[in-house]
């Protein structure tokens, strides 16, 4: 019997990780792929990245707009409500047998709430992880409790999902999808990237993404100011900024990055690079800087160092390629000096990703193909 699997994606980040799984679903005769695009995908501010999905040959079945021009707490709460209502209507029309989601963002939380109320089983990827500096932490664990199938990246995360009361039979250790993303793309050369993006690589280069850390005491504006102050003393380094996620305080981060780029000719900023350009840049640069999960999940596979700033990713399993820094100029400068030190560079080949060697997409597809799609969502709390 053919089963309909509806993938809900709200950002360039989750789509980049889900893309191979989506291709696998689309190619599997026993499964039908449905796609709901929401959140940043539909916003001009964040690059209208739904076009990347369509550019990869996928059909988007429903578009659910939810973001406004504001980034206040009230605006984000309203966006969550709009996503809940919009996804509820979309799911009622599409009638999927399963909803597949990844991660921890508010629009994904909203989509899962709608699916649970409609009694549609949910499969959740990358649960069990900890990111203490952002409210995504609470969304992620809430999604776990709403889900019937769990795909986790490490043994530690598997134990944590079970600790949340989920039956071990429903928790599948598959590894990180970021590893697959790196290994399945034919990355571009430095010359191709320069032509594609209109940039010029100096002898040194960094890829920078800094998201609002929504639960930290420092404001996003204060934190990005400290980072930019540390980078302003590095005119010999090509600085490639990708814009942050749509969270509380994001607009001020974006404004300050744009002001910085206008004043520094070695700096460039992009709303969205797209997965191919982003990972190709990652393979070329000397390191990743900021507080994006990609510095934790993907960079180690490319043997690239990461300067991880603040507490947004605090709690995630890290490779020895990650250098942690406080969100202040002095600490960031110290971390950058370490990144460029010969001692640190000499350790990179020995650093392995804790998220496996690849194959997560295939493992997820196997489970989805064999799942019995029982509409009974009742489950017993699994006590340790």
Instruction: Report pLDDT for 84.
Output: 98
Taking residues 35-55, report their average pLDDT. Answer: 95
Instruction: Report pLDDT for 372.
Output: 84
Per the prediction, the chain carries an average pLDDT of: 95
**3-class secondary structure, 253:** helix
Q: Which residues contact 375 (CB under 8 A, 6 or more apart)?
A: 119, 121
Confidence of residue 133 (pLDDT cuts 50, 70, 90): confident
For the structural domain made of 3-175+359-370, what CATH number should be given?
3.40.50.2000
Tens digits of residue pLDDT in 226-235: 999 999 989 9
pLDDT cut 90: percent of the chain above it: 90
Higher pLDDT, 372 or 224: 224
Confidence of residue 89 (pLDDT cuts 50, 70, 90): very high
Instruction: Report pLDDT for 255.
Output: 96
Instruction: Report pLDDT for 348.
Output: 86
Taking residues 237-241, report their average pLDDT. Answer: 98
Domain residue limits, the chain:
3-175+359-370, 190-350
Higher pLDDT, 88 or 371: 88
pTM: 0.93
For the structural domain made of 190-350, what CATH number should be given?
3.40.50.2000
Per DSSP (E only), the strands in the chain are 3-9, 31-38, 62-64, 98-102, 122-125, 149-152, 171-173, 204-209, 237-242, 267-270, 287-290, 305-309, 322-325
β-strands 204-209, 237-242 pairing: parallel
Confidence of residue 132 (pLDDT cuts 50, 70, 90): confident
């Amino acid at each position: 019997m053919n089963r309909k699997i509806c993938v809900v994606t709200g950002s360039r980040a989750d789509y980049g990780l889900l893309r191979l799984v989506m291709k696998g679903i689309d190619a599997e005769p026993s499964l039908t792929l449905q796609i709901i695009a929401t959140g940043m995908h539909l916003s001009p501010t964040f690059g209208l990245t739904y076009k990347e999905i369509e550019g990869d040959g996928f059909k988007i079945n429903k578009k659910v707009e939810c973001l406004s021009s504001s980034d206040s707490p009230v605006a984000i709460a309203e966006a969550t409500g709009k996503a809940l209502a919009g996804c509820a209507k979309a799911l009622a029309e599409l009638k999927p047998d399963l909803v597949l989601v990844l991660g921890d963002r508010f629009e994904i939380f909203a989509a899962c709430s709608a699916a649970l109320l409609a009694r549609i089983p949910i499969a959740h990827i990358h649960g069990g992880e900890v990111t203490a500096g952002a409210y995504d932490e609470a969304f992620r664990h809430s999604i776990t409790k709403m889900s019937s199938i769990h795909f986790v990246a490490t043994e530690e995360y598997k134990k944590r999902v079970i600790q949340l009361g989920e039956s071990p039979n429903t928790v599948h250790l598959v590894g990180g999808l970021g590893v697959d993303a790196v290994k399945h793309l034919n990355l571009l050369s430095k010359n191709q990237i320069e032509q594609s993006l209109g940039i010029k690589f100096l002898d040194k280069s960094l890829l920078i993404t800094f998201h609002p850390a929504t639960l930290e005491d420092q404001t996003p504006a204060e934190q990005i100011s400290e980072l930019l102050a540390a980078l302003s003393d590095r005119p010999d380094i090509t600085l490639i900024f990708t814009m942050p996620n749509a969270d509380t305080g994001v607009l001020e981060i974006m404004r300050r990055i744009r002001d910085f780029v206008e004043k520094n000719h070695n700096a460039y900023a992009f709303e969205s690079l797209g997965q191919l350009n982003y990972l190709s840049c990652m393979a070329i640069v000397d390191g990743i800087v900021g507080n994006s999960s990609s510095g934790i999940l993907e960079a180690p596979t490319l043997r690239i160092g990461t300067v991880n700033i603040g507490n947004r990713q605090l709690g995630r399993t890290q490779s020895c390629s990650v250098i942690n820094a406080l969100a202040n100029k002095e600490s960031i400068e110290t971390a950058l000096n370490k990144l460029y030190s010969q001692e640190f560079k000499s350790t990179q080949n020995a650093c392995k990703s804790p998220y496996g060697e690849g194959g997560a997409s295939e493992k997820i597809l196997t489970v989805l193909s064999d799942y019995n799609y029982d509409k009974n969502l009742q489950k017993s709390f699994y006590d340790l």
